[in-house]
Amino acid sequence: MNISEITKKYDFRFSKKYGQNFIGDENLLSAIVADAGITENDIVLEIGPGAGTLTRQIAKKARCVVAYEIDKSLEPVLDDTLKDCDNAEVIFDDIMEVSEDEIRDAVGEKFKIVANLPYYITTPILFKFLSSSLDVESITVMVQKEVAERICAQPHTSDYGALTVSVALKGEARICRIVGRNCFTPPPNVDSAIVRIDIKNRFEIKRADKVDSLVRGAFAMKRKTLVNNLCSSLGLSRADAESKLASLGLKPTVRAEELSAEQFVQLCNELYN
């Protein structure tokens, strides 16, 4: 599908505010659906369908697809693109403002997420669904290449941070493919990557309601030691913080980027035992 032709047909203007970069290449669209492992039994939640090109490809494989789009001016474009897709529904709303109950009502209890995410909202969307009670099977998203590298980073590396750990606590992530900037209309200033996160109950976290704030606090100031960050973010005394780390065999000079996801679980369980 020619993105330029269909957007011109409806006098659609790309919005920098919404970070709109659309994909028209059929091979790439098919590859995204394949990377997501979509089957005829799957219900798919798509975020930011744009011109609906990815939505069409998902609809060919999935049981149904429900897409949330924030930009109401795309309605005539999507009506045209999806006119023959009976199993595709578009809801014009800001996904960040939609409640979990509303999402359940729209897609049901169990679903997969597929999205070509606007760069500016990648992290908030991932945190929203990773920390939710929704039954998400997997999340396959097109993101900025450097964000993909952060999501899949290893401990003791500069890319390793709160986003890495938050993803690792909830599932297993991998980069499926790198996508050049020229695959988009209009082309962004950076390359992208497709990341798939398979949601798995990997760890026994006694206080799941506390682990996200612990991780964010641990990485609040990356130049500081974990002890200093725990004192600042959780209000612990230095003696208490050092004692908790020592009980896990960790030195008082350790930094957050040295801990694996499993060690963060152990720390959370120790702190809130």
Among 199, 224, 256, give the residue marking a domain's end. 199
Q: How far apart are CA 141 and CA 47, in angstroms?
A: 9
| Residues 188 and 227 both lie in one domain | no
Same structural domain, 67 and 172: yes
Identify whether residues 126 and 56 lie together within a single domain. Answer: yes
**Residues 17, 92 within the same domain:** yes
What are 199's strand-pairing partners? 171
Q: How far apart are CA 50 and CA 61, in angstroms?
A: 19
Residue 192: name the closest of 30, 60, 32, 1 by CA.
Answer: 32
Q: What is the rounded distance in angstroms from the CA atom of residue 190 to the CA atom of residue 182?
A: 9
Q: At what angle do helices 122-130 and 162-170 cross, to 10 degrees?
A: 30
Domain boundary among 199, 219, 235: 199
Q: From CA 238, how far away is CA 232, in angstroms rounded?
A: 10
The boundaries of the domain holding residue 234 are 208-271
Identify the pLDDT of residue 62.
98
Mark whether 130 and 15 lie in a shared domain. yes
Q: Among 199, 224, 239, where does a domain finish? A: 199
* CB distance 268 to 205 below 8 Å: yes
CB 23 within 8 A of CB 99: no
Which CATH number characterizes residue 247's domain? 1.10.8.100
pTM: predicted TM-score of the whole model, two decimal places: 0.92
Closest CA to 182 of 19, 5, 12, 25: 25
* Residue 29, domain CATH: 3.40.50.150
State how many domains the chain has.
2
Is the same domain home to 23 and 129?
yes
Among the residues of the chain, which ranges form H helices? 3-9, 26-36, 53-61, 75-81, 100-107, 122-130, 145-151, 162-170, 208-218, 226-234, 238-247, 261-271
The one-digit pLDDT tens for each residue of the chain (273 residues) are 688 888 888 888 888 888 899 999 999 999 999 999 999 999 999 999 999 999 999 999 999 999 999 999 999 999 999 999 999 999 999 999 999 999 999 999 899 999 998 888 999 999 999 989 999 999 999 999 999 999 999 999 999 999 999 999 999 999 999 999 999 998 999 999 999 999 998 899 998 889 999 999 999 998 899 999 999 999 999 999 999 999 999 999 999 999 999 999 999 999 997
Asked if residues 229 and 257 have their Cβ atoms less than 8 Å apart, the reply is no
Strand pairing partners for 66?
A: 45, 89
The pLDDT value recorded for residue 10 is: 83
Q: Are residues 177 and 215 in the same domain?
A: no
